[in-house]
Every structure is written in structure tokens, then in C-alpha cells.
Amino acid sequence: MIGFSRKMKIMDRPNERKVHSRDIPILGGLAIYISFLISVFLFEPVHRIHDAVLVGSFFIIMVGIVDDVHGLKPWEKLIGQILAATIVIFLGDIQVDFVHLPFGGTLHFGQLSIPITYFWIIGVTNAINFIDGLDGLSAGVSVIALISISGMAFLMNDHYVYLIALVLVGSILGFLPYNFYPAKIFMGDTGALFLGFIISVLSLLGFKNITFISFIVPILILGVPISDTFLAIVRRVVHKRPISKPDQSHLHHCLMNIGFTHLEAVILIYAISSLFALSAFIFSMTTVSGSLFLLFLVLFFLELLIEKVGLVHHQYKPILKLFDNVRVIRQKNK
């Protein structure tokens, strides 16, 4: 793929938003996809949704290739994602119908089940794509998420999700040495959209229709890309910018702005992703009260991180300012 990308001149060229300073081959996602397909055909997994997963992933790969080669407008990519999600939802008959609430009762989504499923698939697909800003970042975060999903699936005896997740982990790990800093090849939108799509579907298969706790687990596993995407939307709304317009205020940008190197920022985000994944495992195994307490701690940590690196705005620091005020009051009292 490195040689093919260079020969066909399918390269990611530097600009003011990007951190690399030279042309980089960009069809690494196709290498991940081909490896994934070969492995899947060798293992021949059986599941009612398997054909829909393969057809939907092929469609999203085509969208990514066209975007990497020719460039697509945001609304054109969105249409492609909607069509790929439609294949899985209707051909594979997968949707989030209900969740059991932690203190009793069941919340049925009714007519909202299909829109919620669309929102999840498209949201996670774009979340993985949005964090693909540093060498090895999106690939490494995806590996951490997929290992967590496969571990959960193993505990739940969901052999299909367990197998597909591990196969994809192997495909990404084969690619990561060439993508890690300094990268010899990027996965491009081809890889980022494909990984996001598969991760969204596997998390739906593994955790749908169970409990509120299980509903939160995939959100925790994907805590970094989901929170980064959500904050990007908030940030653009606050600054009155189009939601689809890129900026340089994602988590990896903010970390580098406050002094971290390229490699340090990637490793730190790996660590944060691993903490989210670990919290998801603990969250699924503890009591309801313990789960809610852990969720509070995770959200508190996330808020501190947001304020410290300036993910929303450099002046948005309510908790840090509160700590400063308390410290000033204590010093005065002394």
C-alpha cells in the first residue's frame, strides 16, 4: 500500500491543520481492511448479522477510498455513512430497542430505536475519524477499544463479537508499526471510517438490550473519541462556527499546545483510553451504587482534563477556579 499510494500519488499533503511536514502515503486503511477480510474468510464466523457487517463495511470502505483519492464534502460522507448504517440496521436487523433501568423498570425506545441506532453508528464512526490527527493515535485507541469489547464479549460468551474484535485487533497491530511516529503511511479516511463503523456495530451487538449499566459500558470504552467529538461540537457551537468545519482544538492539538511532544501526546491519550476501558470493566462488575460512584469519578476526571488543556475554551475553568478560590481562602484563614 505504501508503494501503491506513492505510484498513484495518493498522498496526504501538509497544510496548516496537519502536524506532518512531508507527503505521506494514505491508503493504510485498505491494508487493514484486506487483512481483516482474509482473516474473516479463514475463520468463517457464523452470525445472523455477518453478511450485513461485510456488506456495510465494504460500502464504508468505498466511501473512504473516494474521499482519500478525490475528497468528499462533509454532507457527501454523511450520506455514505447513513447508507452503510442502513445496511446493518435493516439487512442485519440490529437496533437498540430498550434498556433495563438500574432501579427497576424498562425504558423502551419504541419509534426512537432506529434513530438512536443510526446516531450511535454514525457518531462512533465519525468519532474515530475525528481523532485521527497524530501518527498511530486512531489505530492505537481503536486497538484499546476493541480489546475491551472482545474482553467483555468473552465474559458474556458472545463468540462472534469476541472473534471479529480480535481479528480486527490483529489487522491493526500489523499496520501500527508503519503508522506509529514517525509514520510511513496513514490509514486515511478509508481506515478511520472502517474502524469506527466496525467498532460501532460490535459495541451494539455486544451490549444492546440488556441494562442501563451495559448501555454505559461502550460509551466508557470509547470515552476518548466520544468526548473529543462531543466537545468539538460544543466548541464550534460556542464559537458560532459550522459543526463540520475542522479546527485545531482537539485533545491531541491541546496537549501539544501545552508542551507535549507528538509522541508524548499519543502515549498519554493511549493511557487515558486505557483508564476509560478499565473503568468500563469495573463499572460492569460492581453494584449499581458503585457503578454510579465510578461514573461520577470518571466524569469529574474528564471535566478536570477538559479545563486543564482548554478543550472548550482557555477561559472555561469552573472547577479549577473553585479550587483556586478555596486555596486562597484557606491561606487567608491561616
For residue 327, the model assigns a pLDDT of 86
Pick the closest to residue 221 from 175, 259, 274 (CA basis): 274
| Position 1 confidence tier, pLDDT thresholds 50, 70, 90 | very high
Cα 36 to Cα 147: distance, rounded to the nearest angstrom = 15
Span 132-167, pLDDT tens digits: 888 899 999 999 999 999 988 888 888 899 999 999
For residue 20, the model assigns a pLDDT of 60
pLDDT of 326 higher than 80: yes
Span 89-118, pLDDT tens digits: 999 888 877 766 655 566 777 888 899 899
Q: Are strands 11-12 and 24-25 parallel, antiparallel or unpaired?
A: antiparallel
Cα 63 to Cα 82: distance, rounded to the nearest angstrom = 11
Report the DSSP beta bridge partners of residue 11.
25
pTM score, whole prediction: 0.88
Q: How far is CA 333 from CA 85, 144, 327, 328, 329, in A?
A: 60, 47, 10, 9, 6
Residue type, 219: I
For residue 31, the model assigns a pLDDT of 95
pLDDT above 90 coverage of the chain, percent? 40
Pick the closest to residue 159 from 168, 150, 167 (CA basis): 150
Residue type, 18: K
Is 129 annotated as a binding-site member? yes
Cα 326 to Cα 155: distance, rounded to the nearest angstrom = 45
For residue 71, the model assigns a pLDDT of 87
